[in-house]
A and B are shown apart, each in its own frame.
Chain A
């Protein structure tokens, strides 16, 4: 083929055709219908309509998928709720629509609100296009007619400010009435001016102008300053080739002389008329086309009469809108004109100055010397000879100036060094002073100066030391103080001797002695130490001089040290229980029994209660607290400290007796439950104690046991019964031991026992209540493992008839608070059907009721017996069961009788014991 050299010579455009191989058959050209056009992304593009404007909501032009728009997935779950979507038209557009030439091009433009009234280019272009595309040319006129009037925001604002259309902008002016001039036929060239607003010379108007009438300023239309760059005549524009074919567009050209206001006024009407009418070629140069029906005399309109023939009349000053037209000569200031004739026209609002400006005289800058260099050198040369004394002393003292100022003034003027000394912080590494940075020369110089100063000072015998100044001040400060301020501040507390010296110094200061400092110092110290101490004392005295009352008043000495050993504790005002109890007894409720505390509810709690936070600024929640020693016992002993000590003791004793498991309960172990204390009423029902009380009262024939602290006898009988039977009883272990050994976890029996105990005292009611409790009854009928437990746990338990399966350990734990009434087991016969009980159960129940009483006796007895005869104990145990049986069977009177307590009160203990013995023997026989 072609040689490479040849190739180089040519520039090739386009894609080369494939080389034809001669063997292959000729390729068929792709038929027209199969040719495709692809867009910039390679997607096949189909054309709908002439351009892209065809409406087709299919795949190929609008949406990017074959299926069209994918339906939005409905997602809704508990966490993620489907939100309601509001679609904008833009959501259905693809990027092509949003592109520059699409339906909704995206670009930044002023919104209609802020757009000026002049139509923007795009809009006009679109309008023109639509006019072209419309089936009937000029159909948009209707739209123009109907279109909502949109007022730009500027106009709106102006209107609100009182502006009306046709007026100018600005403050109202006092002016002569405008003379309306008939300017209909006037022509203007180049710049079109509203003729009706053009004001005339004001000469004739002077006569009838009301004084107080003001007028809006004239409206101003901007003058078109487009430079004329062609050779046409003024106002002429040739036929625009782009518009030539559409007659309607040319209306501007035709109405060459119609002024702006006119045009706007008849814009719609006349324009519409002309556009509908004119089609085909029209224009100045063409005349009337063939297609035009109306034979306008287009030439005739251009009559010369419409032209202005007069020069000069047309130039009123007021009409120079928007720009500073030359001032109009008026007849009034005709004489003035002459003066300024040389200067040409004077602008409106300006007058010629009466005084001529004085010309500013301009002086030349001074000439620089030849050898001037614009660089500054500093030469702080200070020779000892010529420095004044004042200066040098200043220099010397300046280094300590700050320190001194601090001493003299207040703590606020302390410098860093001073503060560092105060808090005894080590000095920072690095150069400690500026002098370290100085060169040797400079140091030398300073030294010289210093020496000179010192010499001079010596010679003049001036008050040498700064210290003396401050000591004097300290003296002055402390002199009039008689209080004992030193007690409050001890700067040298760590070194007692030093502190003592300081105090001495201060006391001497107070006495007003001027030698206070020297006298108080230790003479045995070295000079250096003394000097230092002197300084420190003075400083301390000055720092904490009592005149610094602000300092003193602001702080108060801490009552406690800030240690971790402190804890915040609620102030306990509730501890004066003695008074309160007295008040309660006297029924003097009210202030005596009431305590009020500041209590801060939680913010959230207030919110939930819909109540404003009473303490909005506080961060405390609950009661306000005070600081107390953390390890103080008194923090935790705030419950019962008032009550009688012996009661307390016995009460704790009792409580341990009652509840062996209580110790294992972690909660609030520091708080004693009041339930542990048998109340006054409870005590009476405590059968053991009561019995013992009886016994004691019988034996001692003393006062009846109606004492409030009836728990006391619970201890006493041990001692009292012991002496009577102490022949073999060496020493009885405490109740706790028994309890620990014999008490088991389940308190069923004990609870039922408690019921039994109750019976003793409340026989009236217990019978019926017990009847309703068959399960517990039955339980009791079961041979109890150890009866000793019953005997010991005869203190009332709180869940008297808890069902056996549920009440295990929990029940024993829960023995705080008022007891819950006995549980009726599920499915129990109700009150009314109580009589339906089988007779046996009833009987057994009675037994159980009765069992208690003999048991008590038996217990007493057993105490003795146990110690006496170990082997006998076993027997007695077995016997005890029998006792129950026999008592139940034999004597119903004693059990059911309400006066067991009474009878026992009659009987003495000996008698009781005797009785028991008898019964025992009897049962042994039966056994």
Chain B
């Protein structure tokens, strides 16, 4: 006799401020959870990359070596390495524990907007304003990239890597998906400059945010539009968008100092809460829990569910 499945809890979006961390590294250009969501990386405009425990607000390590502000970072699957990119046109591979630079990849002609590890951290993929996406080999010592994808007509603002695909969003208004297994490049035209792209957790959908203040949910296979989410404001800056931990909601930063969450299916605005009066530069959703990191100016804020206990401020 089987019991009926418990009704799935309604996903609660993080809206309660759990902690505010002043990163003391200038403006925080990006904030990223690590792979298991226990730590986070902040990219500062003072050329430093910092590793935090956001729950306790502890700075674990500061990584210095960039020549200009750091724009994006990612952690490897085993938390042993970090990669970061910045305006100094380099991509740097870091050793987490020692804080040393393992490799420094040069080759981009402009500032590097986004960087990601692949699943096994054997390749670093970086997208730059020079409209190229470069794949760097972390296993060998060769200085040249494995492959350069320069199909974009304008700067690459965002990229995501899945098991077999590389998803890039470019300012030329296109979302390009390089499918390695199939050997195809799918290019979806979204008229407005794309600032951020994201894969859904199930890998079926792509989310793109563009400068027309719209988030679009696109079917990965057909390129059809599954949903459009508006209400926030994104017309100038490169702001992040994300899926929630269970793909129930999509979220985005906004230039009006708020974070917006929409119901993925209905497309209705589910939640909008104010972070501050500045521009929410970056956000990162916890991979498994309903937790959210936002970056505004020099601060990183951790948000949780209402039921979450607020951490003691030290």
Contacts and interface: CB of A to CB of B under 8 A. Distances in A.
B100 to A, nearest CB: 16
Contacts of A796: 236
A823 interface: yes
Contact of A826 (B46, B119, B235, B236): B46
Interface string A281-301: 000000000000000000000
Interface of B: 20, 22, 24-27, 29, 45-46, 68-69, 71, 87, 109-111, 113, 118-120, 122-123, 129-131, 135, 137, 139, 146-149, 151, 153-155, 157, 163-164, 171-174, 178-193, 195, 211-213, 216, 218-219, 222-225, 228, 235-239, 255-257, 276-279, 281, 296-299
A599 interface: yes
11 contacts: A580-B191, A597-B151, A606-B180, A608-B118, A614-B182, A622-B149, A668-B131, A671-B154, A817-B157, A818-B237, A825-B26
Contact of B181 (A614, A768, A817): A614
A822 B171 contact: no
B297 A826 contact: no
Minimum-distance CB pairs A-B, first 4:
A614-B183, A818-B238, A768-B277, A594-B223
Contact of B192 (A599, A679, A798): A679
Interface stretch (A53-61, A140-148, A231-239, A581-589): A581-589
A670 to B, nearest CB: 10
Nearest to B109: A667
Contacts of B193: 674-675, 679, 818
B173 A596 contact: no
Contact of A772 (B29, B135, B190, B297): B297
Nearest to B87: A814
Nearest to A798: B236
A267 interface: no
Interface stretch (A88-96, A827-835, A843-851): A827-835
A589 B188 contact: yes
A621 interface: yes
Interface string A442-476: 00000000000000000000000000000000000
Given A605-B147, A606-B180, A768-B257, 9 more contacts: A587-B228, A590-B222, A601-B147, A623-B151, A679-B212, A772-B297, A806-B45, A821-B27, A831-B296
A769 interface: yes
Contact of B130 (A583, A667, A810, A821): A667
A817 B155 contact: yes
A599 B225 CA distance: 24
A608 B146 CA distance: 10
Contacts of A589: 188, 216, 218, 223-225
A615 B184 CA distance: 10
Interface in A792-840: 796, 798, 803, 806, 810, 813-814, 816-828, 830-831, 834
Nearest to B173: A674
B186 A594 contact: yes
B26 A826 contact: yes
A54 to B, nearest CB: 59
A593 interface: yes
Contacts of A323: none
Given A597-B187, A608-B120, A823-B45, A817 B113 contact: yes
A820 B27 contact: yes
Contacts of A822: 27, 278-279, 297
B185 A599 contact: yes
A908 interface: no
Interface of A is mostly: loop
Contacts, number: 248
A765 interface: yes
B288 to A, nearest CB: 24
Interface range, A side: 35 or more
A509 B5 CA distance: 88
Most buried by B among A596, A601, A675, A765: A601
Nearest to B45: A823
Contacts of A638: 153
Given A587-B225, A674-B172, A819 B137 contact: no
Contacts of A769: 277-279
B278 to A, nearest CB: 5
B238 A817 contact: yes
Contacts of B118: 608-609
Nearest to B155: A817
Contact of B109 (A583, A668, A834): A668
Contact of A671 (B147, B153, B235): B153
Contacts of B87: 810, 814
Contact of A602 (B147, B154, B163): B147
Contacts of B182: 614
Nearest to A587: B225
Given A584-B190, A675-B171, A605 B146 contact: yes
B45 A816 contact: no
Given A817-B113, A818-B195, A824 B297 contact: yes
A639 interface: yes
Given A591-B223, A622-B149, A818-B193, A823 B27 contact: yes
Given A671-B131, A816-B129, A830-B299, A594 B235 contact: no
Contacts of B29: 820
A605 B123 CA distance: 8
Interface centre among B27, B87, B182, B225 (most CB of A within 10 A): B27
Nearest to B71: A820
A772 B212 CA distance: 26
A827 B24 contact: yes
A404 B228 CA distance: 78
B181 A581 contact: no
A593 B183 contact: no
Contacts of A570: 151
